[in-house]
């Protein structure tokens, strides 16, 4: 739920919630584009929203993805991820998610999935990596969704939430 500019942010541990609909969008995209995402079908990905937005390098973003490993992976083991821990966590701005249209939500999930890569190790085990951008975004993304001006406009409107 979006908050007004005057409303204080909740404590950090209360800023996160499951992102309604993101997992379903991801499954749809993985099925629709197996040549782009087929290798990550077995990845355990957690989708969260964060009140107060997603800030990376001082800039407001719609979302971010992180690879989970080591202690965080161990601590994240639960029934939802088959006791394996999360491979990735996607964090999406709650304010962005609340006002974005369905196609824009799909684009954000597509973009974050493009950052994923599953690698097969010599010993037969798998590892997951984060893929950097082709350009400021991904070529595949612009071919499917266009330039992204609509997302930029929403992010700019959210920039002043904390001021």
pLDDT tens for residues 103-147?
999 999 999 999 999 998 899 888 899 998 877 777 888 888 877
Identify the top-confidence range among 1-10, 96-105, 131-140: 96-105
pLDDT at residue 82, rounded to an integer? 93
This prediction has a pTM of 0.81
Identify the top-confidence range among 25-29, 53-57, 116-120, 144-148: 25-29
Give yes or no for residue 161 having a pLDDT over 70: no
What is the C-alpha separation between 119 and 87, in angstroms, rounded? 12
> What mean pLDDT value characterizes the chain?
87
- Over residues 35-54, mean pLDDT: 93
Closest by CA to 119, choosing from 127, 111, 108, is 127
What is the C-alpha separation between 14 and 51, in angstroms, rounded? 8
pLDDT at residue 9, rounded to an integer? 77
- The H or E element spanning position 18 is strand 16-18
What is the C-alpha separation between 99 and 40, in angstroms, rounded? 28
């Amino acid at each position: 739920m979006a908050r007004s500019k005057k409303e204080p942010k909740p404590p950090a541990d209360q800023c996160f919630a499951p992102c309604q609909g993101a997992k379903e969008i991801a499954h749809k995209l993985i099925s629709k584009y197996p040549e782009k995402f087929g290798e990550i079908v077995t990845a355990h990905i957690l989708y969260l929203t964060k009140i107060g937005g997603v800030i990376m390098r001082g800039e407001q973003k719609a979302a971010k993805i992180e690879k989970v490993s080591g202690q965080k992976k161990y601590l994240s083991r639960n029934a939802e991820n088959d006791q394996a821990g999360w491979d990735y966590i996607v964090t999406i701005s709650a304010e962005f998610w609340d006002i974005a249209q369905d196609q824009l939500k799909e684009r954000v999930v597509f973009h974050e999935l493009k950052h994923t890569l599953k690698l097969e190790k010599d010993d037969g085990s798998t590892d997951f990596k984060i893929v950097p951008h082709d350009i400021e975004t991904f070529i595949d993304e612009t071919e499917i969704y266009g330039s992204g001006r609509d997302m930029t406009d929403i992010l700019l409107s959210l920039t002043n939430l904390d001021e």
